[in-house]
Every structure is written in structure tokens, then in C-alpha cells.
Amino acid sequence: MRRAAAACLLAAVVAGCGAQKQAREVPARLIAPRECHVSVYFATRMVTGQEATRTEIAAMRGRLASSPKIKTFAFVSKRLALRRMAKRHPAFVQGIPSNPLPPAYEVVPRSVEDARTLAAELRRARGVEHVSAARSC
């Protein structure tokens, strides 16, 4: 029995032993990732007439966390999105009465091919308004 467990442990280290790599959630930063990433923007009242629900956002988080195509993902709140916009384009945010930016997820895929597949899959999710891939993909 010990020998079998040691063999499986060695196999897990070397080849994965059937274990899939899980996506890792990371905190969003003031600067967006520079590497290949897919942005998933949620629906807002301004564009679609209704806002994505917390349940839809939570469902997306679960979907991202369980995907073997994803290396890392981060939730970008409306507030952080506005801070990013203010840093990059201060004139755009001066005098706006409320925050029009949607919450989003930034997803770093394991490969460029995974980025294309993910973008196509995530476009069809409930509560999603827009999905885009960075130029680096």
C-alpha cells in the first residue's frame, strides 16, 4: 500500500496523476494585466436595460474557478474600473454624476488558443454584456 501511494505521489509530481490544474483567483490591481487576457463585462442598465444579478456574477466566478483553460482570474469592481479610467483618461471621468462602468472579470488563459475558446464560450453566459480579448492574444 505504501509503495502504491509513493508511486502515485511521484506520478502526481511528474505528470499530474489525473489532477487538473485549477484556475486561481487573484486580486485585481489598478493596472490591467499586460499579458494575454480576456475581459468579461457584465450587463448594465445603461446598455441592456437591466443589470447583471449577483447570482449571475457568482455563477461566472464558479465557472471560471473550475475551468482548466484558465491560469488566473480577477474580479474588477465598478469602483476599480472607474479608478482605472480616471488614471488613464482623467478628462473622461470629470463631472460624471455616477459610475457608468460595469463590473468585470479579467481572465488570464493558459494559452492563446484557450483565450479564443474562452471568449466564445463566455459570450453566451447569462448576465454578460460583452467579452473581449486583449491585443496580446
pLDDT per position as a tens digit, 97-126: 989 999 999 999 999 999 999 999 999 999
Structure pTM? 0.79
Domains and CATH numbers, the chain: 21-133 (3.30.70.3040)
Expressed in percent and rounded to 5, the helix, strand and coil fractions of the chain are 40, 20, 40
- Distance, in Å, from the CA atom of 80 to the CA atom of 104, rounded to the nearest integer, reads 10
pLDDT per position as a tens digit, 56-100: 999 999 999 999 999 999 999 999 999 999 999 999 989 899 899
Residue in this structure with the C-alpha cell 454584456, named with its chain if needed: 129
